Amino acid sequence: MHDNHDIDILISEVGPRDGLQSVKATMPTALKTAWISALAGAGLREIEIGSFVPAKLLPQMADAAQLVAHGRTLPGLFVTALVPNLKGAQAAFEAGVQKITVPVSVSEPHSLANIRKTHAQVIEEVRGVIALRNQHYPHVQVEAGLSTVFGCTIQGVVPADEVIRLALVMAGLGVDEVGLADTVGYANPTQVRQLFSRLRNELGTVAGSAHFHNTRGQGLANVVAALDVGVTTIDASQGGIGGCPYAPGASGNIVTEDLVYLLESMGLRTGIDIDRLVAAREWLQQGLPGEPLYGFIPDAGVGKNFHYAKDL
């Protein structure tokens, strides 16, 4: 488990997975490892280093096992990866990950489009992953990452009852956490408050992280709504890269740099040094020349009134 007693909010950096997976170019492994080291050096405690999928499908992710091995050498870093199925889970476990996230679309049409599986098939897949974990890799955590929970480009409205029903199924299968993701950037703060409240009431400690996209500019507002109802793990991506295949021209994930500023200025400790975090963008710029990077803090700086939470 994490040893995070000295921080209030855990930021899970998903740039190396959700970011790089969404970019056509493939970042060289040497630059990825330098980038991950720089992120960890800035104080990030959890990094999703990639996804375990066939290299022919996503060549950007072909070096996932190498990156796990590298991440495990970095002191204090918790190494996670995304896996779409049992085969991916097996590879991730063998590589030495400390946690896997299995994406589960609440919208069945999205599930069919994304991984060509019905809900019944996804449930069987997760059952197999949990059995494998319990038998051979008991120390690895398994998270079900529910996606399209706030709406879906294919299905449209996704009822909250459906989200909770599927979350309870996942908890029943034995996952350690159920996270909620706003895959297409439809969420608003009222909806976030209501859904995470219900999730926490129904699942208790199994209720997990929040993954928001900034597609329509609501990302940080949704973070504050999640904080209001007790969420303590938030996903973000350096430079806001990735996370937005369906909305051309829109930024995708919420920007790690801006999130750290928000939390620290609100008096919530993240353990992250903003200057070192902004400096880590250099590896991203080298690895993905010409790729747009987002964020206000890298351009504006933190301002004269800023203090880290620990100094407030």
| Residue written as token pair 């020349």 | 289
The answer as to whether 127 is a domain residue is yes
Residue 88 included in any domain: yes
State the amino acid at position 297 in one-letter form.
I
Give the whole-angstrom CA distance, residue 256 versus residue 177: 22
Whether residue 1 lies inside any domain: the answer is: no
pLDDT, greater one: 249 or 124: 124
pLDDT of 1 over the 60 cut: no
The 10s digit of each residue's pLDDT in 153-193 is: 899 999 999 999 999 999 999 999 999 999 889 999 999 99
Residue 40 belongs to a domain: yes
Q: Tell me how far apart the alpha carbons of residues 125 and 23 are, in angstroms, rounded to a whole number.
A: 27
Domain that holds residue 250: 10-311
Closest C-alpha to 122, from 141, 147, 139: 147
CATH of the domain at 46: 3.20.20.70
263 within 8 A of 270, measured Cβ to Cβ: yes
The sign of the CA dihedral 217, 218, 221, 223 is: negative
Q: Could you read off the pLDDT of 38-61 as tens digits, one per residue?
A: 999 999 999 999 999 999 999 999
- pLDDT tens figures, 220-266: 999 999 999 999 999 999 999 987 655 555 678 999 999 999 999 99
Residue 4 maps to a domain: no
Amino acid at site 113: A
Q: Residues for the chain: how many in total? A: 312
Inter-CA distances, 164 with 65, 146, 175, 212, Å:
33, 10, 15, 18
- The residues that bridge with 236 in the sheet, in sequence order, are 13
Catalytic residues: 244
Residue 214 lies in a domain: yes
The number of folded domains in the chain is 1
| pLDDT tens per residue across span 89-105 | 999 999 999 999 999 99
Q: Is-contact 197 227, C-beta < 8 A?
A: no
Would 5 be classed as within a structural domain? no
Q: Is 254 exposed, middle or buried (0-12, 13-18, 19+ CB in 10 A)?
A: buried
In a domain? residue 89: yes
211: left (phi over 0), alpha (psi -120 to 50) or beta: beta
Distance of CA 210 to CAs 14, 187, 229, 302, Å?
12, 11, 11, 25
Cα(292)–Cα(271) distance, integer angstroms = 27
